[in-house]
């Protein structure tokens, strides 16, 4: 008997089989060895959307999304006599993919020869779709996890590292498998372990989600880090997710800020002391020079007054009085000079009256006279710039402080001041031929003079650069835009 007819006979002949066939909720089919559909139940119609007639018209292979699956299926049956839970994708009438678990055996004739297949198709499309979505989501989250520039650690509630991203491997300079399975404390420098350990329970309970600590980075470098923690479920168990951010740059900036605050505080203190010193210097000068002069003046005037009140003056008296008035005149002239000098040092009036260039000329001339250090000033102006008084005073004070430093520290024999005042820009250079100093040590010197000069330059929108070479001298350059 031919295979297909034999198979039909099997179906029709056995009522129990027929019943099982028709009423099965899974798809049931019978095909010949070459793939001709012999019979299918209603469930297959429902699953595929074909009518019985349409289904019969197609060869089995046409129902497969991947026809090679049918060959695999046939080979398995040939080898084992059956297939179980064989996952295949079939095409529905509308073109959608139907994922099925196929369980099938060969149908044999009375001589035990396989003449066809019968099997059950169990629809797993929904499960497959869910699995696909889950795996797509997993991939999405994995991608996010991996592409984060910050190192991320997943840790169990007892602190064992369960997973890490690429950035974490980069931070520690080791591969993923060298990090997973370790306790997190192994990644923290000894001195800081306690801090994180003590706070770990707070991470777990959600009471704390941010902490600054240190991490052992690549080549055992100690890196300041900020930890941000959130609670998650990882592989169905509660876990914590730790974002680690390298805050070296922030720490450096904080240190710098702290040190410039410190410098400014020092400067403020210095300015206050300087003001006190200045006041007491002026008081002393007033007392020693003017006070004495005025006292002498008073005594001598009293003497002259007495002489005049005594009445008749002889020639000697007149001579004495003449000499007295001459010396008193000298004393008064000296006092006038003292007043001028004291007031010029307090605030050079010349700066207000004649401007910056004459004030510098006067000051450098006085400097050479006082110190013996030759000071040459080349001062140019194209006449276009009108300086705001604040700017003039700032430049003048910077030059003064530079010259004071030269006297105090440089042992220089010559100083040059170059000033070029243009319409939009002003530059000043003060250079000496002294012993110079190591400018890298300026920060630790905690000096106020140069800090003050810097602050003055900044306050008028300028920039001050100090350069110095040991035994080659020092140059202070100031550059200011003229508004
Ligand atoms: N022209 C210079 N030649 C050699 N060393 C200098 C010169 N100018 C500054 N220095 C060095 O730089 C240091 C800092 O100078 P700065 O004016 O800031 O402070 P200071 O003069 O020591 O004290 P002050 O706060 O009273 O000015 C000085 O102590 C000195 O060592
Ligand atoms: Mg100084």
Say yes or no: do domains 3-130 and 148-246 share a fold: yes
pLDDT of 14 reads 63
DSSP state of 51: -
- Residues with C-beta less than 6 Å from any ligand 1 atom: 270, 405-406, 408-410, 432, 434-437, 445, 447-450, 474
Q: What is the pLDDT of residue 18?
A: 74
Q: How confident is the model at residue 265 (pLDDT cuts 50, 70, 90)?
A: confident
Out of 263, 371, 405, 406, give the residue to mutate to test ligand 1, the one with the largest number of ligand atoms within 8 Å of its CB: 405
Say whether 483 sits in a helix, a strand or coil.
coil
Q: Which CATH superfamily is domain 3-130 in?
A: PAS domain (3.30.450.20)
pLDDT of residue 4: 66
Which two three-digit tokens encode residue 434? 């002294």
Q: Whose CA is nearest to atom 17 of ligand 1?
A: 449
Give, using CA atoms, the residue closest to atom 24 of ligand 1.
449
- Does CATH number 3.30.9.10 belong to domain 348-481? no
Q: What is the pLDDT of residues 357-409, one digit of tens each?
A: 999 998 999 899 989 999 999 999 887 677 888 899 899 999 999 999 999 99
Closest alpha carbon to 419 in 465, 369, 480, 365 = 480
Nearest CA to ligand 1 atom 6: 409
> Given the DSSP bridges, would you call strands 425-432 and 463-469 parallel, antiparallel or unpaired?
unpaired
Pinpoint the alpha helices (H) of 105-180: 125-147, 166-172, 176-179
Where are the domains positioned within the chain? 3-130, 148-246, 249-346, 348-481
Instruction: Report the nearest-CA residue for atom 8 of ligand 1.
Output: 405
Residue 21 exposed, middle or buried by CB count within 10 Å (0-12, 13-18, 19+): buried
Check if the beta carbon of residue 246 is closer than 8 Å to that of residue 171.
yes
User: Which residue has the CA at smallest separation from atom 27 of ligand 1?
Assistant: 449
Mean pLDDT of the chain: 88
**For residue 4, how far is its CA from the centre of ligand 2 (angstroms)?**
112
- Residue 295: pLDDT band by 50, 70, 90 thresholds? confident
Distance 416 CA to ligand 1 centre (A): 18
Residue closest via CA to ligand 1's atom 25 equals 448
Alpha carbon of 353 to ligand 2 centroid (Å): 28
The model's pLDDT over 100-158, given as tens digits with 9 standing for 90+, comes to 999 999 888 888 888 888 899 999 988 888 888 888 988 998 899 999 999 999 999 99
Polymer length of the chain = 483
Report the nearest atom of ligand 1 relative to the CA of 448.
Answer: 25
Q: How far is the CA of 452 from the centre of ligand 2 (A)?
A: 9
Interior CA angle at 100 toward 97 and 106, to 5°?
Answer: 130
Least confident of 17-21, 75-79, 105-109: 17-21
pLDDT tier, 39 (very low <50, low <70, confident <90, very high otherwise): confident
Nearest CA to ligand 1 atom 14: 447
How far apart are the CA of 269 and the centre of ligand 2, in A? Answer: 14
CB 342 within 8 A of CB 282: yes
| pLDDT tens, residue by residue, 314-326 | 888 889 889 989 9
> Ligand 1, atom 1: nearest CA belongs to which residue?
406
Task: Look up the CATH number of domain 148-246.
Answer: 3.30.450.20
Atom of ligand 1 nearest to the CA of 435: 4
Give me the phi and psi of 333, to 5 degrees please. Answer: -60, -40
CA of 266 to the centre of ligand 1 (A): 15
Residue range 49-71, pLDDT digits in tens: 999 889 888 888 899 999 999 88
Residue 192's φ and ψ, nearest 5 degrees, are -110, -5
Q: How many A from CA of 297 to the centre of ligand 1?
A: 43
- Among the ranges given (76-80, 174-178, 371-375, 404-408), the one the predictor scored with the smallest mean pLDDT: 76-80
**Ligand 2 center from residue 402 Cα (angstroms):** 7
**Cα 333 to averaged position of ligand 2 atoms, centre (Å):** 34
- Give the number of the ligand closest to the Cα of residue 277: 1
Q: Which ligand is nearest to the CA of 274?
A: 1
Q: Which atom of ligand 1 is nearest to the CA of 270?
A: 25
Mutation to probe ligand 1, out of 277, 415, 437 (largest number of atoms < 8 A from CB): 437
């Amino acid at each position: 008997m031919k295979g297909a007819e034999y198979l039909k006979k099997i179906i029709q002949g056995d009522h129990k089989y027929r019943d099982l066939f028709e009423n099965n909720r899974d798809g049931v089919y019978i095909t010949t060895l070459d793939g001709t559909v012999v019979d299918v139940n209603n469930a297959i119609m429902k699953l595929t959307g074909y009518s019985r007639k349409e289904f019969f018209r197609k060869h089995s292979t046409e129902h497969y999304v991947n026809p090679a699956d049918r060959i695999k299926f046939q080979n398995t049956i040939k080898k084992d006599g059956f297939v179980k839970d064989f996952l295949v994708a079939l095409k529905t009438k509308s073109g959608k993919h139907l994922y099925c678990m196929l369980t099938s055996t060969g149908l044999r004739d009375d001589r035990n020869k396989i003449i066809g297949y019968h099997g059950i198709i169990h629809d797993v499309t929904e499960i497959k779709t869910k699995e696909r979505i889950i795996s797509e989501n997993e991939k999405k989250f994995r991608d996010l996890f991996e592409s984060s520039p910050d190192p991320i650690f997943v840790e169990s509630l007892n602190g064992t590292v369960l997973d890490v991203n690429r950035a974490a491997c980069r931070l520690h300079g080791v591969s993923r498998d060298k990090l997973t399975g370790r306790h997190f404390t192994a990644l923290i420098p000894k001195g800081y372990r306690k801090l994180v350990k003590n706070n770990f329970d707070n991470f777990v309970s959600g009471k704390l989600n941010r902490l600054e600590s240190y991490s052992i980075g690549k080549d055992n470098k100690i890196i300041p880090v900020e930890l941000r923690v959130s609670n998650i479920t990882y592989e169905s168990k509660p876990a914590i997710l730790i974002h680690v951010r390298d805050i070296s740059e922030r720490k450096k900036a904080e240190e710098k800020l702290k040190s410039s605050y410190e410098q400014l505080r020092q400067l403020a203190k210095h300015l206050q002391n300087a003001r006190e010193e200045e006041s007491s210097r002026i008081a002393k000068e007033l007392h020693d020079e003017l006070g004495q002069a005025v006292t002498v003046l008073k005594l001598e005037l009293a003497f002259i007054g007495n002489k005049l009140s005594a009445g008749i003056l002889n020639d000697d008296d007149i001579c004495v009085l003449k000499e007295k008035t001459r010396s008193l005149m000298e004393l008064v002239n000296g006092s006038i000079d003292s007043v001028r000098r004291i007031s010029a040092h307090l605030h050079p009036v010349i700066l207000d009256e004649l401007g910056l260039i004459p004030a510098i000329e006067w000051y450098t001339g006085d400097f050479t006279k006082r110190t013996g250090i030759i000071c040459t000033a080349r001062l140019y102006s194209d006449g276009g710039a009108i300086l705001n008084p604040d700017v003039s005073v700032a430049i003048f004070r910077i030059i003064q402080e530079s010259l004071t430093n030269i006297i105090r520290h440089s042992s220089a024999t010559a100083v040059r001041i170059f000033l070029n005042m243009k319409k939009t820009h002003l530059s000043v250079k003060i250079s000496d031929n002294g012993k110079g100093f190591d400018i890298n040590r300026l920060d630790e010197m905690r000096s106020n003079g140069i800090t003050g000069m810097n602050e003055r330059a900044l306050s008028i929108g300028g920039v001050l650069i100090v350069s110095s070479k040991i035994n080659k001298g020092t140059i202070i350059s100031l550059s200011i835009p003229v508004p």
